[in-house]
């Protein structure tokens, strides 16, 4: 009897978890952002505006764009939270993405720390992500402090950082936290400010009960999604110790575990692979599929002790 880890047979919804509009420092109006993501075939997007007190780039309020929602497209009330105390940032500010916030979520008090801000957003019900670690040189101690405060995930691909500064990654931060026992997930996002030029490059595919903010946030918190810059997982299932992976056509399927443990299958136009976890000897695994253009799909991490229960 196979155990499905992620499948597209239920509803799977494509969305952007990090983006900006004229409410903060984006170029497009909120209505424009919603229209362009909807026209690009997305199921949802987020106006995760900079929530802070500096009028050069931020607004002191969370925007509620749910008036633009349609039966086939929704927005999730979100923000990119800031407060002082981050090293290696021009303004000394933390950047923390929170999806599924209440619209009256208050801007940080001047004395609030990054970990305190994470904890407050988690308590308010949000799915909270450590934003663009590579772009602003997040230190290992900073990553640990946010994960310990309850951050759910790490942005391992930030499209605007990738195409504008070649600093779009976050796998090193993710794997450090995983190796140290933090159970965090991974996201790919756009962080778009100029749609469409810096949009549609990184997204999540969320298996949820419905295209509603509540169901999508619940699936994010449960890790029932994967991240992509192109390829898709069609199947991730366990049959005993055998892990079956189904993908859109790719050239490489990689099983990555703790430390530098990894196995791979390579070939032109692969759409499936099977790995034997009995010999893998790792506390967790995650799967990466890479297509001929170099675009990737990343599964979330799965922990062996969860799967063996």
Closer to Zn ion by Cβ: residue 88 or 272 = 88
- 201 CB-side CA count, 13 A: 24
Least separation in angstroms between residue 198's CB and Zn ion is 11
Residue with nearest beta carbon to Zn ion: 95
Least separation in angstroms between residue 264's CB and Zn ion is 33
Closer to Zn ion by Cβ: residue 16 or 224 = 16
Least separation in angstroms between residue 274's CB and Zn ion is 39
Least separation in angstroms between residue 15's CB and Zn ion is 15
Least separation in angstroms between residue 54's CB and Zn ion is 13
Closer to Zn ion by Cβ: residue 95 or 159 = 95
Least separation in angstroms between residue 66's CB and Zn ion is 20
Contact 140, 170 (CB under 8 A): no
Closer to Zn ion by Cβ: residue 38 or 82 = 82
Closer to Zn ion by Cβ: residue 95 or 152 = 95
Interaction site with Zn ion (CB under 5 A): 80, 95, 131, 191
Contact 124, 102 (CB under 8 A): yes
Closer to Zn ion by Cβ: residue 165 or 293 = 165
Closer to Zn ion by Cβ: residue 30 or 246 = 30
Contact 92, 84 (CB under 8 A): yes
Q: Which two tokens stand for residue 224?
A: 């029932």
Least separation in angstroms between residue 278's CB and Zn ion is 42
Residues 6+ apart with CB under 8 A from 212: 74
């Amino acid at each position: 009897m196979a155990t499905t880890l992620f499948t597209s047979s239920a509803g799977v919804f494509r969305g952007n978890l990090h983006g900006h509009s004229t409410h903060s420092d984006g170029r497009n109006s909120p209505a424009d952002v919603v229209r362009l993501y909807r026209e690009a075939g997305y199921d949802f997007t987020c106006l995760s505006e900079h929530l802070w007190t500096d009028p050069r780039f931020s607004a002191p309020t969370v925007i509620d764009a749910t008036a633009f929602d349609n039966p086939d497209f929704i927005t999730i009330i979100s923000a990119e939270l800031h407060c002082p105390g981050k090293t290696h940032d021009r303004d000394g500010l933390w950047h923390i993405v929170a999806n599924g916030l209440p619209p009256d979520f208050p801007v940080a008090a001047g004395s609030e720390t990054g970990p305190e801000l994470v904890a407050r957003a988690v308590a308010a019900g949000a799915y909270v992500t450590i934003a663009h670690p590579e772009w602003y040189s997040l230190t290992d101690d900073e990553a640990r402090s946010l994960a310990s405060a309850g951050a759910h995930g790490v942005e391992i691909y930030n499209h605007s950082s990738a195409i504008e500064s070649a600093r779009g990654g976050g796998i090193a931060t993710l794997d450090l936290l995983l190796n140290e026992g933090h159970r965090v997930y991974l996201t790919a996002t756009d962080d778009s400010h100029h749609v469409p030029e810096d949009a549609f490059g990184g997204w999540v595919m969320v298996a949820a009960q419905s295209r509603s903010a509540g169901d999508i946030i619940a699936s994010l918190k449960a890790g029932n999604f994967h991240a992509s810059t192109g390829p898709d997982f069609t199947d991730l299932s366990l049959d005993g110790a055998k892990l079956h992976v189904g993908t859109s056509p790719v050239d490489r399927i990689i099983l990555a575990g703790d430390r530098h443990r990894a196995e791979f299958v390579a070939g032109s136009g692969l759409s499936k692979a099977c790995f034997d976890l009995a010999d893998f000897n790792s506390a967790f695994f995650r799967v990466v599929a890479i297509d001929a253009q170099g675009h990737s799909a990343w599964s979330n991490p799965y922990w062996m002790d969860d799967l063996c229960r």
